[in-house]
Amino acid sequence: FICGLPRLVEDGSALFVHGSPRGPTNEYVFPEDTQNVKKMDKLFSLVSHVCFQGHTHVPGVFTSDLRFVRPVDTGTGYDVSDRSERLMINVGSVGQPRDGDARSCYVIYDEETIEFRRVVYDVEKTVRAIEAESELDNFLGYRLREGR
């Protein structure tokens, strides 16, 4: 079923991928990639306005002028109303945000702003479920406590 789904979805000026606009299923885009001008220029050349992505689980906004804006720095919302601006938005992760905040992370988008939201979930229940699964390394659960 999953293999039959599209690798990317476009809805107006919004692009939705898992990895990146260039590698929709598997390319990582990390905050430190803002130092890699060639990579970021290529990625932004594939974005008409906004691209929502994940894969690294590190929430934040990549700007075409090579900044990475963390959720704590977006206040009540990040303005995305300028249609000439190109942005890549990592929405974080419902189960494994990796920015030092263990709460689930997601984004609300209304074509004018994006707002990062956080939700507390039972991390210890998840850790116990991972510990009970013999094919998974316990580390995968333990790092959830620290949002890593």
Residues 30-89 have pLDDT tens digits of 999 999 999 999 999 999 999 999 999 999 999 999 999 999 999 989 999 999 999 999
Contact 94, 111 (CB under 8 A): no
pLDDT at position 97: 82
> Could you tell me what percentage of the chain is helix, strand and coil, using 3-state DSSP and rounding each to the nearest 5?
25, 25, 50
pLDDT-above-70 percentage for the chain:
100
**Is the pTM above the cut of 0.85?**
yes
pLDDT number for residue 31: 97
The encoded tokens of residue 43 equal: 């990625």
118, pLDDT greater than 80? yes
Residues 6+ apart with CB under 8 A from 76: 115
Q: pLDDT tens digits, residue range 70-84?
A: 999 999 899 999 999
What is the separation of C-alpha 129 from the centre of its chain, rounded to a whole number of angstroms? 24
14, two tokens: 């919004």
- Average model confidence (pLDDT) across the chain: 95
User: What's 51's DSSP letter?
Assistant: E
Binned at pLDDT 50, 70 and 90, residue 95 comes out as: confident
Pairing of strands 50-53, 60-63: unpaired
CA dist 124 and 41 (Å) reads: 41
pLDDT of residue 2: 83
Residue 148: per-residue pLDDT: 86
Give me the pLDDT at residue 33, please.
Answer: 98
Q: Which two tokens stand for residue 136?
A: 């998974």
Structure tokens at 129: 């479920």
| CB neighbour list of residue 14: distance below 8 Å, 6 or more residues apart | 49, 50, 51, 52, 109
Which pLDDT tens digit goes with each residue over 101-110? 999 999 999 9
Q: Dihedral sign, CA of 121, 123, 128, 131?
A: positive
